[in-house]
Amino acid sequence: MESNAMGAFIAALRKTAGLTQKELADKLHVSDKSISRWERGEGAPDLSLIPVIAELFGVTSDELLRGRRQNVPSSEQEEPSLSPKLRQRVLAASFSRYKSRSAIAAGLSGCGLLAALTGNLAFLRAYLGFFAGAVFFLAAVITQLICLNSAFLAVSGEEFQQPQVDDYRYRCVLWAEGILGLTAVLFAFTLPLVLLTGDAYLGLSGDSLMAYGLPFSLAAVIFWCCVVWLVNHQLIRNGRLRPCNPEQARYRSSLKGWCAAGLAVLLTVTGFVHQGLKGFGDPTLISEKIVFEDFDSFKEFMEQDIPWDPSDTAADQAVPPAPVGPVQYYDESGNPITEEEALTETITDNQGNILCTFLRRNQSVWSWKYGHLDGEILPITVYTQQHLEQARRRMALMDQVFGPIYCLETVGAVFVYFRLRQKKRTKV
């Protein structure tokens, strides 16, 4: 009994039956490692399993021990070939297993997003959340690449026809690009955690994360579609990817490029309108205001004793603590000064002439601006904390309105792509 011959014969019979090593091991109640050792010639089945294996594959025990069929032409003794139906079955089973294993990579990407949200929202550590999520995203990429390599190795035998293998590998690459694209989009969603906080000991609010994370994700969708289109186009052109229907594959690749470009233009226009309605990040452009045409009314308003109202403070703004007891003021050198000296402010012209002197007692004032023309001071525009809070609410409302619009545009572009692809397939 030669182990090498019998192992090669068992491997050929298993592939002819369309079974994996794991499936054969389950039928024989042994481990898949044992099947692998048999097929490599590093061991042999127990004698008690010989009749079982022979009956399973429809051969005699003597043929199994010899490692070849008997009473058949020598040209048919080497290795059973797969019938066309069995080839399709094996390829379909391999692709199904590949997609199931790729679900692990997709799950790791989802865990990365969950880890980022947990670190940011639960522990108020944006950096912690980002890097915790990045570990899962990296694991998802590595897992997907391993699954893709295993899928390629599963059909590396000579029993498969090359066109079928090429189309199988093409579909595997497309599936891997989808999973990696999902990982890239979720990773882009977490980028604001490190780009906008600026402090490892701060967290980003949920509204801010949605407001900035969604545009980052949509930008990642466009970027990934463009990259995939360029890479696939070049690989098909060089012959490294050979789909079963090259003309249809080129059409799909071109259609993806046009849909991605159209989506990019549409999202850019929508984003410009969105930011314009938000004042391009400047609350003063969309907030209400108080305009003073003379210095006396401005001075009277600024000298009103109006305390800071915490209810008019945005959620991400620090509320100054209420003073306890008499307030002591100091100058830049640390010397004590009077309240009048500390609160006195002046408005001067271009020549340094004092135009207005006032005591800034009104703590509700957020900021003010001088006249719009060069060299002019009046009118003076004042913005209070209440105006700022109203502007922030309008900006948050714009984010809530345009967020679904971005999603609908993306879904619409995907729908158009599949609709046009289906129409092309129907014509063919």
Strand order in the sheet with 380-384: 290-292, 380-384, 365-369
R_g (Cα) of the chain, nearest Å: 35
Long-range contacts of 398-403 (CB under 8 A, 24+ apart): 398/274, 398/277, 398/278, 399/207, 399/210, 399/211, 399/278, 402/270, 402/274, 403/210, 403/211, 403/214
pLDDT, tens digit (0-9, with 9 covering 90-100), for 47-89: 888 888 888 888 888 888 888 777 655 444 444 455 566 667 7
Phi, psi values for residue 150, rounded to 5°: -65, -35
Question: 38 exposed, middle or buried (CB, 10 Å; 0-12, 13-18, 19+)?
Answer: buried
Phi, psi values for residue 7, rounded to 5°: -65, -45
Window from 130-139, 153-162, 200-209, 271-280 with minimum mean pLDDT: 153-162
Cα separation, 164 vs 92, in Å, equals 11
What's the pLDDT band for 375 if we cut at 50, 70, 90?
low
DSSP class per residue in 234-245? HHHHHTSS--SS
* Per-residue confidence (pLDDT) for residue 117, from 0 to 100: 93
* Per-residue confidence (pLDDT) for residue 85, from 0 to 100: 65
Residues 6+ apart with CB under 8 A from 396: 207, 211
pLDDT, tens digit (0-9, with 9 covering 90-100), for 391-426: 888 888 888 888 888 888 888 988 998 888 887 666
Residue 8: is its pLDDT beyond 80? Answer: yes
Structure tokens at 334: 């640390």
pLDDT, tens digit (0-9, with 9 covering 90-100), for 322-360: 555 566 777 777 788 887 888 888 888 777 788 889 888
Cα separation, 284 vs 382, in Å, equals 10
Cα separation, 428 vs 425, in Å, equals 5
* Per-residue confidence (pLDDT) for residue 86, from 0 to 100: 63
* Per-residue confidence (pLDDT) for residue 133, from 0 to 100: 95
Residue in this structure with the two tokens 């289109």, named with its chain if needed: 229
> Torsion angle, CA of 113/115/116/122, rounded to 10 degrees?
130
% of the chain with per-residue pLDDT over 70: 85
Q: Give, for 98, the enclosing helix (H) or strand (E).
A: helix 84-117
More reliable by pLDDT, 160 or 88: 88
- Maximum CA extent, the chain: 116
What integer is the mean pLDDT of 126-130? 91
3-state percent helix, strand, coil for the chain, nearest multiple of 5: 65, 5, 30
Residue 20: is its pLDDT beyond 70? Answer: yes
The top-scoring range by mean pLDDT among 26-30, 164-168, 244-248, 284-288 is 284-288
What integer is the mean pLDDT of 18-34? 83
pLDDT, tens digit (0-9, with 9 covering 90-100), for 172-218: 998 999 999 999 999 999 999 998 877 767 788 887 788 788 888 88
pTM: 0.59
